Amino acid sequence: MFNWVENLGKIIIYGTRSLKETFTFAFLIVAGLFRSQTYNSASYIVLLHQIYFTAIQVLPLFLTMAAVIGFLLTGIFLHNLKELGLAAHFGRVIMGFVVTELSPFLTVLLIALRSSSAINAEIATMKVNKELNTLETFNIDLISYLFVPRVVAGMVSVLLLSGLFAIVLLISGFLSSRLLFGMSLNEYGNTLLNSAKLTDIFILLIKCFIFGFFIILIPIYSGINATYELTSIPVAVLRGMVRIFIAIIVIEVLSLIARFA
C-alpha cells in the first residue's frame, strides 16, 4: 500500500517538475523572441533551413496523404450522411471536423514524427559532441541563435501545412463528391461556405501556433537535457517523443473544450 502511494507521489512530483521546467523554458523562448540579438543573419539562416526541412521537404508525402485522405473521407462522410438522411449537415461535418480538427491534427502528427524526432536527436547529439559548449564559448546565445528560430519555423510550418492540407483535402473532397455523388462545384462550394464559421478559423489558427510551438520546444528541451554520454541520445529522443504525444493530446482536448464548452 505504502509502495503504491510512494510510486504515485514520485510520478506526480516528476510530472509537476517536468511541466514546470517545460513552461519555464517556454517562457525563455518567448522572451527570446523580443531580444534584439535574436535578429541577425545567422539566426535567419537557421530559420530558413528549418522551414525548408520541416515544411518544404515533406511536401510530396504530405500532399499525397492529404489528397488520399480527402478523397476517401469526403466520400465516406457523404455516403453515410446520405444514408442517415443527414446530407444537409455535410458542409458542417467537413468544415467543423475535417478542416478545423483533422487537418491540424494530421499535420502535427506528421511533423512530430519527422521533424521533432530529428530536432530532438540533433540537439542531443550537439550536446554529446560539446557543440553547444562551442556556441557558449563564442558567446552565442543558444536561445536566440539555435532555439527561437527553430520554434518560429515550427509555428510557421504547422500553420502553412495545415492550411495546405485543408485546401488539398477540400479539392480532393470535391472530386470525390463529384465522381461518386454527382455534386456540382457550386453546390459543394455553397455547402462549405455556409458552414464556415469565423470562430472555427480563429481557433484553428491559435491551435496551429500552439501545436507548432510545443512540438519543436519539447524536443529541444529533451535534447539539451541529454547527458554527455552517447547512450543518452536515444533516451532523450524517446522521452521527447512521448512528451510530444502527450502535449498533442492535451492541446487537442483543450481546443475541443474551447470550441464546444
> Could you tell me the smallest distance in angstroms from the CB atom of residue 140 to other proteins?
5
* Minimum CB distance to other proteins smaller for 11 or for 48: 48
Measured CA to CA, the distance from residue 110 to residue 203 in angstroms comes to 20
* Minimum CB distance to other proteins smaller for 3 or for 139: 139
- If phi > 0 it is left, if psi is from -120 to 50 it is alpha, else beta; for residue 184 that is beta
> Could you tell me the smallest distance in angstroms from the CB atom of residue 155 to other proteins?
21
Measured CA to CA, the distance from residue 147 to residue 149 in angstroms comes to 6
* Minimum CB distance to other proteins smaller for 34 or for 260: 34
* Minimum CB distance to other proteins smaller for 131 or for 252: 131
> Could you tell me the smallest distance in angstroms from the CB atom of residue 41 to other proteins?
5
- The residue length of the chain stands at 261
8 A C-beta contact, residue 149 and residue 47? yes
8 A C-beta contact, residue 255 and residue 104? no
Q: Tell me the C-alpha to C-alpha distance, in Å, between residue 89 and each of 74, 77, 78, 216, 260.
A: 13, 10, 9, 36, 17
> Could you tell me the smallest distance in angstroms from the CB atom of residue 116 to other proteins?
16
* Minimum CB distance to other proteins smaller for 7 or for 37: 37
Measured CA to CA, the distance from residue 115 to residue 61 in angstroms comes to 14
Q: Which residues contact 90 (CB under 8 A, 6 or more apart)?
A: 77, 78, 81, 191
* Minimum CB distance to other proteins smaller for 131 or for 200: 131
> Could you tell me the smallest distance in angstroms from the CB atom of residue 138 to other proteins?
5
Q: Among all chains, which residue has been given the C-alpha cell 554527455? A: 228
- Provide the binding-site residues for other proteins, judged by CB under 8 A: 37, 40-43, 45, 122, 125-126, 129-131, 133-135, 137-140, 145
> Could you tell me the smallest distance in angstroms from the CB atom of residue 144 to other proteins?
9
